[in-house]
Amino acid sequence: MTRRLLLGYLGITLFVLVALEVPLGIQNQRTERRDITAKVEHDAVAIASLAEDAIRSGAVVQLRPIASRVYGYAGSTGGRVVIVDGRGFARIDTSSRVVGTESFASRPEIAAALRGGVASGIRYSKTLKESLLYVAVPIASGGVVHGAVRITYPTSTVDARIVRFWLILALIAAIVTTGAALLGFATARFVTRPLRRLEHAAAEVGSGKLDTRAPENAGPAEVRSLASVFNETVSRLGRLLRSQEEFVADASHELRTPLTALQLRLENLERSVPEPGRGDLEAALREVGRLAEMVEGLLTLARADAEPSGPIDVAGVVVERVETWHALAQERGIALVADTDGAATARAAPERLTQIIDNFVANALEAGPEGSTVTVFARVEGELVEVRVRDQGPGLTAEDRARAFDRFWRARSGGGGSGLGLAIVRKLAEADSATVVLDEAPGGGLDAVVRLQRA
């Protein structure tokens, strides 16, 4: 947004500069040329007045003082003066390039002057390779034209002044544009600073920090109003999520007691239930166990974000969990080993990482056949720390691996469980900004991976 505001300010500044300076430059160009034309025309009329008697008489003696003054004028101004008689033959030419008398009768401006008119304009001289301003006036008295005076003046001097004026305008435009850019950048930063704070607050909220609030006392009234609405929305969202989490936690906690009591009652009935009803009783016990597992999973989900993240020794947690599960693995005839690569420190909550590893190991022991091996790896991979639980079981198809983290999903092969285990794992991982995936293990089986941010 800062860039857009700055470009807007610069666009307005450039538009104003072009609207003001271009007409000013064009007007200056016209004025310079009009002034030089008027000056040269005035000089030509003055010379014509001086040369009138000499041209009428045709006497060389009378032309000499006129020629002296004309040559002096040409030397001081850099112009060329040509005085012709009534037939167009040059009587005085300050830059004669022809031996003898040269006729100028064919020149349009001379012809116009000999007809009693005044001719002026600019033409390009192929001989001199430059543009020339010309003014031709008649030498007349009593309504009779006796000759003409033509002055040609190179426009390089006036063109240099015009170019210099355009350069001054360009320099002014550059200074004004630079100043406008600096002022516009400062203004844009001032305007967008509250929006950047609001954007930062929104990003913090998006990352799960619902206690973040945007400043409501900075920026324009519209931004302050937006910040107030944003804060109120975040507050309501926080209250809603807390209410939902508290409800799930309270409901799960309250359900544990009656489910435990129900399980005990059913177990006590085993002695008094006759043989034909034993199957139904065992099925009821399995369903109660499944319900208890589901309630426990919901409680875990509700408490997933409660523990703060911090640097932990992942290798140490892996070794400790392998030791904890070793007895059960040995009972099932499965070798459970830890493979850690030295220190592997990650940013996570110890309790959440423990639950993730426990879930992966429990699934691996459930899927692994007797005599197989389950390996728990801890590796540092760049900026991540990977924990892998690899079994030698039947594995899952690519479609099943993609859906395994959905809530209440269970493999098509059947089996127990609530279908919340891996959904809980994903929730726990997200609380630590980690990712979890299921890959196919080399040689068959499942490779359950959690990737943690390295501390």
CB atoms within 10 A of CB 258: 10
Residues 229 and 370 in one domain: no
Residue 157's pLDDT is 81
Residue 444's pLDDT is 83
Residue 249's pLDDT is 64
| Boundary-marking domain end, from 107, 131, 160 | 160
Tokens of 352: 């959440």
Residue 9's pLDDT is 76
Residue 18's pLDDT is 87
Residues 51 and 156 in one domain: yes
Residue 248's pLDDT is 63
Q: Give domain status of residue 232, yes or no.
A: yes
CA dist 220 to 41, 177, 214, 394, Å? Answer: 64, 26, 14, 63
Average pLDDT of adjacent 10-residue blocks, the chain of 455 residues: 74 86 89 89 91 85 88 88 90 72 86 91 81 91 89 86 91 90 80 78 78 78 82 84 69 70 76 75 76 67 64 90 91 91 82 87 89 91 90 87 75 54 82 88 89 87
Residues 382 and 260 in one domain: no
User: Radius of gyration of the chain from Cα atoms?
Assistant: 50
Residues 317 and 414 in one domain: yes
Residues 8 and 156 in one domain: yes
| Boundary-marking domain end, from 127, 160, 193 | 160
Instruction: Give the total number of structural domains in the chain.
Output: 3
Q: Which long-range contacts (CB under 8 A, 24 or more apart) does 303-306 make?
A: 303/249, 304/352, 304/424, 304/427, 304/428, 304/431, 305/208, 305/245, 305/431
Q: Give domain status of residue 295, yes or no.
A: no
> What percent of the chain is helix, strand and coil (3-state, nearest 5)?
60, 20, 25
Residues 235 and 344 in one domain: no
Sign of the four-CA dihedral 214, 220, 222, 228: positive
Give the side-chain half-sphere CA count within 13 A for 247.
Answer: 6
Residue 323's pLDDT is 93
Q: What is the CATH number of the domain that holds 134?
A: 3.30.450.20
| Boundary-marking domain end, from 141, 160, 179 | 160
Residues 249 and 340 in one domain: no
Residues 89 and 134 in one domain: yes
Q: Give domain status of residue 173, yes or no.
A: no
Residues composing the chain: 455
Q: What is the CATH number of the domain that holds 384?
A: 3.30.565.10
Q: Give domain status of residue 190, yes or no.
A: no
Q: Give domain status of residue 401, yes or no.
A: yes
Residues 23 and 144 in one domain: yes
Residues 262 and 342 in one domain: no
The amino acid occupying position 72 is G
Strand (E) or helix (H) holding 317? helix 314-331
Residues 342 and 432 in one domain: yes
Nearest alpha-carbon partner for 339 in 362, 356, 322, 363: 322
How far, in Å, CA of 179 to CA of 185, rounded? 10
Q: Give domain status of residue 440, yes or no.
A: yes
Give the strand pairing for 335-340 and 435-440.
unpaired
> Which range marks the domain in which residue 370 is found?
306-453
Residue 427's pLDDT is 82
Residues 314 and 406 in one domain: yes
